[in-house]
Amino acid sequence: MKTLNDFNFKGKRALIRVDFNVPLNDQFKITDETRINAAIPTLKKILKDGGSCIIMSHLGRPKDGPEHKFSLEHLVDTLSNKLNVRLEFADDCIGDGAFEASSNLKPGRVLLLNNLRFYKEETKGDEAFAEMLSRHGDVYVNDAFGTAHRAHASTTIVAKYFQDRVCGYVMQAELENAKKVLENAQTPFTAIMGGAKISDKILIVEKLLDKVDNLIIGGGMSYTFFKALGGNVGNSLVENDKLDLARMLIEKAKEKNVDLQLPIDSIVADAFNNDANSKVCNNHQIEDGWMGLDIGPQAIEVFSNLIKKSKTILWNGPMGVFEMEKFAKGTNTIAAAVVEATKNGAFSLIGGGDSAAAVNSLGYGDQVSYVSTGGGALLEYMEGKTLPGVAALE
């Protein structure tokens, strides 16, 4: 696989797939710039070489064609400031205006194409659409790890129309850090799995049981385990069709000498909102009408101590409903424990999605080893699946 440092972009028009699927507020201002910041070094390297950048991305999930709220025009000012160049914007990603803009693009200039998903052909992996996109550049760069698990036109199919296919810095760092955890983990290796559903994490949990020393389970998915063990979980989130699976995973962990840690206690509430009545409760004895929304003080202590003793840490998924201040302490404290372990020499990989959002919102982004930009893609890569966007660069 060619990486950016293997290639000189002088005089080349680089067609770059980035992941600028960023959150916008009601005024169309970006509320989290993590993904944009991650891609800037790739764009700067191409410009520094004397190349030009044609940037393509998706944003949100437009239903039928162009919608103003999903237009990439909302990103123009931010990108211009970060790159210190005046960005050109094409109101389409194909079509005469877009092709004219890309064919006339001079070295050192940047063109941002509009949302790829304004065309249904993008997510269908349409060949003709991919061929049209390929006309924008002389060389293809994929830096969108967050969409590498999708065989879309811009992430996978378009690559076949280029002799030169290059892996961007984000893609390279994501793959190197994932490999470090999967293939060269120092022990003790602790994986922290949170989030709502066990069904989203079955494959990764099974795979990790062959690798880790400790597996911490928190978040909504833990209540399925407690119910499987015969506990009373009240109104907590449970996947009743996954109880046998939870029991099987507990047995597998025992067989493989993995220390599977479930939270001893929870912060439970009588309603799913920040103003609900709440109390601490043992996880085997949650009363009807109450639901677990965060890990409790004993769980925080046990989990934190285990994390601080670890040399490799993989974290995917929050410990509770951290978006509500009342139920954020578990996630926040676990984040602080990961930071402390990292300061003491551990390697910590934060696996995209909500855990990345939590770490970044607490200002810990630069105090852990690596924060992944791709939640689903990272999980699939760690499950051992081939990512079409990565395979297309090989």
Catalytic residues: 35, 197, 353, 376
Q: Is 287 helix (H, G, I), strand (E, B) or coil?
A: coil
Residue 345 identity? G
Q: Please measure the distance between the N-terminal and C-terminal CA atoms of the chain and give it in whole angstroms.
A: 5
Q: Specify the DSSP class assigned to residue 373.
A: S
Rounded CA separation 265/207 (Å): 27
CA distances to 148, 159, 202, 325 from 376, in Å: 9, 22, 13, 26
- Read out DSSP for 126-137? -HHHHHHHHTT-
CA distances to 15, 52, 163, 171 from 136, in Å: 6, 11, 14, 21
Residue 163, burial from CB neighbour count under 10 angstroms (0-12, 13-18, 19+):
exposed
